[in-house]
Amino acid sequence: MLPRVLFLHGFTCTPEVWDGTRAAVAGRAVAEAVTLPWHAGTDDPSEPSVDGLADAVAARHLAGREAAVVVGHSLGGMVGLHLARRHAASVRALVLVDAFPSLDLNDRILPGMYGPGGDPAIEARAQSMMTAGRARMPVEGRDRLWASIRAMDAVPWLGELACPVLGVFGGRGRFGIRDAATLVDLLHLSRLPSCELVVCPAAGHFVMWDDPAGLHGALVRFMEALPPPGSFPRTL
C-alpha cells in the first residue's frame, strides 16, 4: 500500500508551493496538499493559532483515515509539530521543510528568506504569493495567527514526539551538507526520539523551489526507509 502524504504550506502561502514535490512522489505515495485554515480568504471556525490550525487539519484531513506522513513548510511544519504531539496516532512521520521549533531559532540560526545568488524569479514568485496571501486573509485572524507563530516554542516538548522526523533546511550559504549534525544540535532537534537532517547548502527558505532535487531525493529516501505503519514506538 502506498503511504499517504499530507502537504502543509507556510504562512500566507498556498498549496501550489508543493506542485513540483507532489509530482516527484507520484507513484510512490498518495499525496494531498491542503489549504491551511484562515488562508482561503474567508473567516474560519478554527482558532487562529498554531495548535488551533493543527486541530482543524486533524479533524478535516486526518481523522478516521490512514496515518499520514505530514510534510510541512515553515508554518506548515510548525503545525506538523503540534499534529505529531496532539494527534500522534494520525501522524506516521513528520517532515520539516525549513520549519523551526521556534522563530527565535530561525532568526538566530538560519535568518533570511533567500540563499546567496538566489534566482530573482523565485524571489519574485515568493513575494507575490505572500503579498497576495496576506491581503487575502481576514485581518483579525491573520494577526492573531502571526502572534501565535511568534510565541510558539516547541523545544520543551520535542521529546514527546514519538514518530520519525526528517528535517530539510536551506543552508543559505551558511551551512553545508556536512553540517547536518551541527544543525540538529543548534535547532534542538536532537531532543526528538528520531531525527534525520538534510542541508541544501545554497537554498533559502523555499527549499522546494531553490533545490527541488535535494528535497525530493531526501523525501523519497525517507519514505522508503519508514518502518511499517504502527511499528514505530508511540511511547518512550
Convert the pLDDT of each residue in 1-45 to its tens digit.
789 999 999 999 999 999 999 999 999 999 999 999 999 999 999
Every domain of the chain and the residues it spans:
4-224
pTM over 0.85: yes
Q: Which fold has domain 4-224?
A: Rossmann fold (3.40.50)
Q: Which three three-digit cell numbers place residue 106?
A: 530561525
Convert the pLDDT of each residue in 45-68 to its tens digit.
999 999 999 999 999 999 999 999
